[in-house]
Amino acid sequence: MSIIDFLTKLRKLDIRLWLENDALQYQAPKGAVTKELLLEIKDRKDDILSFLRQVNMEARTNREPIPRTSKEDGQGIPLSFFQQSMWFFSQITKANPVFNISNAVKMSGTLRKEILIQSLKEVIARHESLRTTFKNVDGRPVQIISPSVEVTLHEMDLRHIPQEELEQYLKKRLKEEARFIFNLEKGPLFRFCLFVTGENEYVFSMIIHHIISDAWSNAIFVGEFFRLYEAFLKGEDLKLPELPIQYADFSVWERNRLQGETLEELLGYWRKQLVNPTTIQLPTDYPRPKSQTYEGGFEPFSMSGSLTERLKAICNKEGTTLFMIILAAFQTLLYRYSNQTDIFTGTVVANRNRKEVEGLVGFFMNTLVLRSDFEGNPSFIEVLRKIKNMTLDAYTYQELPFDKLLEELKPERDVSRTPLFQTMLIFHNTQKVELELPGLKINQIDVESGMAPFDLRLQLAESEDGIKGGFDYNSALFKNSTIKRLGVHLLNILEVISIVPEEKVSDIVLLTQEEQNQILLEFNHTKADYPRDRVIHEFFEENASNHPERVAAIFGNQHLTYLELNEKSNQLARLLRRNGVQKDSIIGIMLERSLEMIIGIMAVEKAGGAYLPVDPHYPRDRINYILEDSGVTLLLSHRKFSSFEVNENIHRIFLEEASLYEGDSSNLPGLAGPGNLAYIIYTSGSTGKPKGTLIEHHSLVNRLHWMQKKYPIGPEDIILQKTPFTFDVSLWEMFWWSMQGAKVCFLEPGAEKDPGMIVNAIEKNCITVMHFVPSMLNSFLEYINDTGEVERIASLKQVFASGEALTPSHVRLFKRLLEKNGTQLANLYGPTEATVDVSYFDCITKEDLDGIPIGKPIDNIRLYIMDKKMHPQPIGVAGELCIAGVGLARGYLNLPELTDEKFVPNTLEPGQKLYRTGDLAKWREDGNIEYLGRMDFQVKIRGLRIELGEIERVLQEHPAVRESIVTAWEKQPGNMHLVGYVVHEKGMEVESGELQAFLEKALPEYMVPRIYVFLDTMPLSANGKVDRKALPVPVLDSKTDFVAPRNEVENILTNIWKDELGIENVGVNDNFFEIGGHSLLLTRVHSRLNKQFQREFSLIDLFTHSTISALAKYVTADNEEETFLMNNDRLQKQKEAKRMRKQMFRR
């Protein structure tokens, strides 16, 4: 039974249905609505709602004919809302041609140019919109309709161009034409070109500004032109049917109609539908520019005829259209790429619901926002059914102009992207015009303008052999290769759902087999031999046997040879065995850096146990917890820490005691094997209690074997051991040298935080290899820069950085200072749970990177970037970094549930484990991985997801900023603020306002912190990383929210705002768009500012300076860009002068 039949049945039962506030209501005689009938009404509710909405819309739009408007010569007529939106766009972008409508055809045969021009003139005379220009009257645009306009055919003879070059030359010329900049005030807003390409061979190009036309109008124009050309060719005087109205009549009628009850009904639906909008954040190849750019690229997309037929079969079954099913697939792709469940996509509708406008040239096309919810892991068919209902509802309320919608909703304004949606899907089904003229063979030419109005737009149309079209995309954001992959993934989704529409959207496989092979096999081609049957101390014993007199370890003025270290550690190891040490026994070591430290560590390994480093300067509670949780019964320490009380079951051994080093000093028989524990390190836990990570010998051997293969060292090398031994980086500092007959130099305790003492140690001991946490590397480099002591560290050959994100500014400074010495820098990454490091990136590229990758996997490690369902992510798409291979820890001590949560079954390698790092990362096309931050460092502010690390990287570029951290501070529940913590360069200062201005050059407004806390130093954890938890809470001035104007300029601006907004109170911190402002009002403010201050201000800058306070600074600045550059130059000169003074002082 159709919906009409069902409603007729209800009417016969005297049951009346209607809509009230978009909710279904009914009235019926008592007993008429049975349980069965009520159930049927509920089952058909969506269809009933759609039908009633359509009836209401038709009733709204067809009540009265659109009246004619009197038009006196030169009289201004208000713009339609659609035109107003396009006019404002033109003002703010300085007439950017991205919305030009471009058409071109190839014509072969006899062309009568005079008839072509006559036909064009006739169409233009017929449609007032084509003779319309737009005048700005004090910030208010009006339409000016000219009684006639000159029609020019611009001719160009290309017959001199060689045939093999003609196609490319023509493509270039058509692109130039498509980018023609029209003057909206002067007109005309069309341009016709005829290119002569050969004997009776032509290309005709037609460009029309979107403000006077649209896709439907295009078909009308071409259809009428062809009919007129044919008639004039025959000598006939064709009279086309009179137009009932002109576009200006529609403009006036629309403005009169869209108010009161009609407007409220439309707004009521869209307010509800678009409440709390979110912004999609697709993974981009390049940082988003501060202001939106429109340079673009194009990537073709097509679907085969067989796939199209399968999709049509689903459409027939579900009562949907091809547009709906493609939209469902497209939004599924956006959901999978963005990892966001609330997806907004734009589309366009012809919006010609009135008989009077069907044959009219003009801008009627409206933009709709289509919102889908992917929460709860729905199946594709569930998504499709929701999209069907949502789309039908949107069509019902399609009349509300998009610009009017923005005025009402006042979404967060961001000049770096379009409001409400940044992706669009258009399925063209406009009427097709037969391209036939007597004596001419005509073929359409696709014109590529090289521009893109949105981040990403997919345009499609059905053809004889399937569906064809393509993506236009913003080339400031995306590479072509990225869009090509995206198209492949969309096709994969469509192929899967055409066969299994019940598939869960999160389980649809995006990757092709080729991509899977690339990511899983090629990028992870790391299988390599290593001495898997060895344990770590055996390599040291070999070198002690082969080179007994060679110096092994240095501390201050003391040293131990390989023989001495081997004998002492053997003697201590025997004592440990006598005290019960067996395989996997955990022995605590609580020492400061010293020769006893390495003796104790080697002794534990030789005895067969696993060493547990304990920092003697940890808080007592933490030390006690670690000792108790680990079950330690032996603790190696120094006498100076004897006052520290430990449980009575723990036996302490003080390593200074000479009596320990007596007796048999030969190597002990082996006890531990490759699968036994080598060490256990406690790291911070999410519960607040540290957790012990268990690492086996074979994992450590693999890690160090790879390091030697990649960055070989020999007997002449000396490694500086400066990392706290409770931090796993210390492992390679402790053991790598011993495997190669090299040396280790232990830095004086506490000196790791003093760049001067580090320089002294490097110079004195000829250090060749060392490690820095990036924040300490920055301090070290700044010290070298300030003192000019680069020659003192000339022995340094290799520096490793890990533990934090290494930034491009770190790398640039490193290269500038140390490249002349031949010192190399490598960026390493790895969690404690995967044995120190799992990836590497050599910072030797000459390219100035936006971010420093963490690189490629090391030997016998596989790295995977997974989505929430643990499916591999495509190249460029963010996901959780997961680790597989021989480096994985055994697990966490005494925490089986946490071990199972973090070390999960590896679905890609059955029988193996996968460690979930909690780090966000993405693959680059070259197989390097880019670290994006901790998953728990992602924050959302005003519906926008923000990577704090991205802000930190930009902030770090300011010359007066030495170190920076950005956090999200929740002042009150739901009231989130970005806070920048800054450490100044020595001798330099910078104010909050200057930092804001600096960031605003590179970042959108919502990513710029407004609160800053200036610190002398960043709080550091014991392992040298910045301790975010120890950052102080911001203290804000206790001021009232309302701040009155404080000077003459603020007074002037406030009065302008009051006049235009029609409100009494305007504070200097009020946001223009949050207190009633919209785009048209902004143009009026703009016009008044230009007159008031006798200057031509940029309209787009009024968007970014949207408070009186910010605007006052902007209008009074002579040249903001110059001011910043001058300030930047001043800071650089200060820096250079300081460096030179220090150099002179040293001399």
CB 433 within 8 A of CB 309: no
First-residue to last-residue Cα distance in the chain = 99
Predicted local confidence at residue 1146, as pLDDT: 40
Q: Is 566 exposed, middle or buried (0-12, 13-18, 19+ CB in 10 A)?
A: buried
Q: Give the single-character DSSP code of 413.
A: P
Long-range contacts of 781-785 (CB under 8 A, 24+ apart): 781/810, 781/813, 781/814, 781/817, 782/755, 782/813, 782/962, 782/985, 782/986, 783/755, 783/756, 783/759, 784/755, 784/759, 784/817, 784/818, 785/813, 785/817, 785/1139
Q: Report the range of poorest mean pLDDT among 427-436, 835-844, 910-919.
A: 427-436
Predicted local confidence at residue 624, as pLDDT: 93
Report in angstroms the alpha-carbon separations of 1095 from 95, 877, 1058, 1083, 1086.
Answer: 20, 45, 21, 15, 10
CA nearest 79: which of 211, 251, 256? 251
CATH topology of domain 77-249: Chloramphenicol Acetyltransferase (3.30.559)
Burial 328-360 (b: 16+ CB within 10 A, else e): bbbbbbbbbbbbbebbbbbbbbbbbbbebbebb
Q: Report the range of poorest mean pLDDT among 399-408, 448-457, 491-500, 840-849.
A: 840-849
Judge whether residue 848 has pLDDT over 80.
Answer: no
Cross-strand pairs, 148: none
Q: Report the range of poorest mean pLDDT among 196-210, 453-467, 1048-1062.
A: 1048-1062
Judge whether residue 180 has pLDDT over 50.
Answer: yes
What mean pLDDT comes out for the span 1123-1138?
44
Superfamily covering domain 1048-1116: ACP-like (1.10.1200.10)
Judge whether residue 487 has pLDDT over 80.
Answer: yes
723-745 residue pLDDT tens = 999 999 999 999 999 999 999 99
Predicted local confidence at residue 852, as pLDDT: 93
What mean pLDDT comes out for the span 806-811?
89
Judge whether residue 819 has pLDDT over 80.
Answer: yes
Tokens 């981009």 sit on residue: 284
Quick one: pLDDT band at residue 414, thresholds 50, 70, 90? confident
Q: Count other Cβ atoms within 10 Å, centred on residue 766.
A: 14
Judge whether residue 238 has pLDDT over 90.
Answer: no
CA nearest 273: which of 350, 347, 368? 368
655-671 residue pLDDT tens = 999 999 999 999 999 99
What mean pLDDT comes out for the span 767-792?
93
Judge whether residue 1011 has pLDDT over 90.
Answer: no
Predicted local confidence at residue 694, as pLDDT: 98
Predicted local confidence at residue 1041, as pLDDT: 59
Predicted local confidence at residue 1125, as pLDDT: 38
Predicted local confidence at residue 384, as pLDDT: 97
CB 965 within 8 A of CB 1028: yes
The residues, ordered by sequence, that sit 6+ positions from 487 with a Cβ below 8 Å of its Cβ are 299, 301, 471
Predicted local confidence at residue 688, as pLDDT: 65
Quick one: pLDDT band at residue 508, thresholds 50, 70, 90? very high
Judge whether residue 1135 has pLDDT over 80.
Answer: no
The residues, ordered by sequence, that sit 6+ positions from 566 with a Cβ below 8 Å of its Cβ are 540, 541, 544, 548, 602, 665, 667
Judge whether residue 10 has pLDDT over 70.
Answer: yes
Tokens 């992706």 sit on residue: 423
Structural element, H or E, at residue 897: helix 896-902
What mean pLDDT comes out for the span 773-800?
93
* Mean confidence (pLDDT) of the chain: 89
Please tell me which residue, 248 or 57, carries the higher pLDDT value.
Answer: 248
CA–CA dist 336, 874 (Å, integer): 10
Ramachandran assignment for 235, one of left (phi > 0), alpha (psi -120 to 50 degrees), beta (any other): left
Judge whether residue 59 has pLDDT over 80.
Answer: no
What mean pLDDT comes out for the span 1128-1145?
45
Q: Report the range of poorest mean pLDDT among 444-448, 531-535, 1111-1115.
A: 1111-1115
Angle at which helix 595-607 crosses helix 730-740, to 10 degrees, equals 80
Residues of the chain with CATH 3.30.300.30: 935-1030
Predicted local confidence at residue 541, as pLDDT: 98
Quick one: pLDDT band at residue 1092, thresholds 50, 70, 90? confident
What mean pLDDT comes out for the span 307-317?
95
Please tell me which residue, 1068 or 208, carries the higher pLDDT value.
Answer: 208
CA 147 to chain centre: 51
Predicted local confidence at residue 972, as pLDDT: 56
Structural element, H or E, at residue 332: helix 322-338
Q: What is the pTM of this model?
A: 0.83
Predicted local confidence at residue 1105, as pLDDT: 79
Residues of the chain with CATH 3.30.559.10: 77-249
1019-1068 residue pLDDT tens = 877 666 787 878 888 876 544 457 888 888 888 989 988 888 888 888 88
CB 882 within 8 A of CB 866: yes
Judge whether residue 37 has pLDDT over 70.
Answer: yes
Judge whether residue 1136 has pLDDT over 70.
Answer: no
What mean pLDDT comes out for the span 750-754?
90
Determine the number of helices (DSSP H) and then strands (DSSP E) in the chain: 32, 43
CATH class label, 935-1030: alpha beta
Judge whether residue 1128 has pLDDT over 60.
Answer: no
Judge whether residue 1141 has pLDDT over 50.
Answer: no
Quick one: pLDDT band at residue 533, thresholds 50, 70, 90? very high
The hierarchical CATH code for the domain 3-61 is 1.10.10
Judge whether residue 807 has pLDDT over 90.
Answer: no
Predicted local confidence at residue 63, as pLDDT: 64
99-111 residue pLDDT tens = 999 999 999 999 9
927-936 residue pLDDT tens = 999 998 888 7
Judge whether residue 684 has pLDDT over 90.
Answer: no
Residues of the chain with CATH 1.10.1200.10: 1048-1116
Quick one: pLDDT band at residue 945, thresholds 50, 70, 90? low
Judge whether residue 434 has pLDDT over 90.
Answer: no
Quick one: pLDDT band at residue 938, thresholds 50, 70, 90? low
562-594 residue pLDDT tens = 999 999 999 999 999 999 999 999 999 999 999
Report in angstroms the alpha-carbon separations of 863 from 589, 807, 838, 856, 881.
Answer: 33, 22, 8, 8, 7
Q: Which amino acid is at 884?
A: A
Judge whether residue 1131 has pLDDT over 70.
Answer: no
